[in-house]
Every structure is written in structure tokens, then in C-alpha cells.
Structure 1
């Protein structure tokens, strides 16, 4: 692990709450000058700790009212490589995240759709036709209360 001090952790916590804050505002909150804050941000980026800034969209206001988590168990691991499955699933625009996991399923997918009928279309015409898919289990997201980062 890279040596980080309390100011680095404070900077990461502040950015995880609001990545749009200016270096000047962040510096004032942490007792640093704007140039010193920029140097720390640049260092965190160079170390690969700060990977980027993310735009958080309101999916519902954009017309995507359904989020479903899929557990995918591959049925033909010997004939289809994991890379083939990953390449194909990443090409589906409704699939927001692809996580290779250990446990009951091989992959966990986050799928966003306009409504249940749209999700069914994605499931039948895209996900079920992916190379190597054996079984799929679905969990519909009812609400999302908090999304804490690794720093709390």
C-alpha cells in the first residue's frame, strides 16, 4: 500500500462526496493552498489511487426505471473462454457493470432498462444468447439508499 497521510485521506473523502469541488475549495477545507491541493490530486492520480471522476445520472429521469442484478452461471466453461463472455456482455449497452465473482454465480451484472418489458427483451434477445450462459438469476432493485465509498 502507498503511504497516504491524513490530508490525502481527507482529500479522497471530500472528492468521493463531490468530485466537482475546485482545488481551491478542497484546499480551504483541508488547510492547503490551491497549488498544494493540485499537487496532491496529481500524485494520487499518478499512483493510480484516484482513477477519475464519475458523472452520476438519475436513470429514472432519463427514462430507465428498472435496474436488475443478474447472477450468471456459465454452463460451458471448457468450450467458451471467460474473455469471450466478457467481450460479448460488455457490448450490451444496457449492462452497466460486469463483475466476475466467486460463489454461486460466475458473473454479476447490473442491467438498466426502461421498464420490465424492456428488461425482458434485453434478457431474451441479448443476455441469454451470450456465449457460454448456463443459468441466470434475476433480482430487481427496489431502492438504493446509500452508496458509500471505501473510505466511508
Structure 2
């Protein structure tokens, strides 16, 4: 897949939306970069149509929703089946995300939540029945994310603190 040529505005839009898509408007981005809000909206549409922006995601506190166990399951899948199995894993209740890994034996990482150990056992059994070999399971305490800072070409510290101001 060929890389899409992005300019500073495109990269800043991606940065600002990664930081806080819910509280960042086209007008906020336009003001920070000295362009019109309609220019930003058009650029967002273009970034979406080119598949660069694939959606917005909500950061959920699963523990507060009653899912005390947030886990990553390290699996091995046969290389010819890896992509198909990864897609099917999303159908297992409790599975949140699946990452295909290009190297190593643990070539699929599955993130899942459960209310208790019975939930995690069920998820493991279902993944096993799909064809995954479960290598290891780890309970996640916290997860932190960050937008790719090189896309923040605005340059001032104030803009980094809150793109919605």
C-alpha cells in the first residue's frame, strides 16, 4: 500500500483528533492553524476517504462498568490462517481488539475483558476452538495512549495542552 502524501495541516488534524476527537472541533483546529473551518472539514473528509482516519474511539473504563478483568491473551496462530482467525476472534464476546504480529511464535495478541475468571476461561475456550493456541494471559492494570507528537507541527506548548481551547 502506497503512503499518502500529507502536509502539515493534515498531520496536525490527525494529531489533534488523536489527542481528543470528542472535544476538538474543526473550528478549534482551523484557529490553531490559521485556516478556515471548512478547509479542516474538507481535509478530514479526505483523510477519511483515503483510509487514514478510520474512526474515532471512546476510552472506556471497563472496571467501572463491572468488568474487573482486563487482559491480553498471547496466542499462536498458523501463518496461513492468522488473518482469518484474527477477524473471527472479534466475534467472541468480551474480545475488544486483535493485533496480528508479523514475527515470533506469539503472533496474535488479543485484548479482552471479563467480569470474573469464568468469563476469561470461556473466552480462552472459544479462542482455542477457533484454532488459536493460547501461550500466555496477562491481566492489564492500566493502558496509556498518546498521539504521535511529530504530527503536532503547531509548535506552541499551549496548543499541546488542549487543542480544544
| Greater helix proportion | 2
For residues 51-90 of structure 1, the aligned pairs below 5 Å read 51-74=54-77, 77=78, 81-82=81-82, 85-90=85-90
Q: TM-score, normalised by structure 1?
A: 0.81
Q: TM-score, normalised by structure 2?
A: 0.75
Q: Return the alpha-carbon distance in structure 2 between the equivalents of residues 66 and 119 of structure 1.
A: 8
* SS of 2:137 mapped into structure 1: strand
RMSD of aligned Cα (Å): 2.3
Residues 99 and 109, structure 1, Cα contact 8 Å, conserved in 2: yes
Q: Can you give the 5+ residue segments of structure 1 that lack an aligned partner in the other structure?
A: none
The alpha carbon displacement at 1:106 in A equals 2.6
* SS of 1:61 mapped into structure 2: helix
Aligned residues: 146
Question: Displaced runs of 4+ in structure 1, greater than 4 A?
Answer: none
Describe the shift of the 1:64–1:13 C-alpha distance in structure 2 as closer, same or farther (beyond 3 A): same
The alpha carbon displacement at 1:87 in A equals 4.8
Cα-to-partner distance string for 1:87-143 (whole Å, 9 max, x where unaligned): 54221021111222121313111111113343233324x22322x333431111122
For residues 124-139 of structure 1, the aligned pairs below 5 Å read 124=125, 126-130=126-130, 132-139=131-138
The alpha carbon displacement at 1:83 in A equals 5.5
Counterpart in the other structure of 1:100: 100
Describe the shift of the 1:87–1:25 C-alpha distance in structure 2 as closer, same or farther (beyond 3 A): closer
Q: Can you give the 5+ residue segments of structure 2 that lack an aligned partner in the other structure?
A: 151-165
Describe the shift of the 1:17–1:83 C-alpha distance in structure 2 as closer, same or farther (beyond 3 A): closer
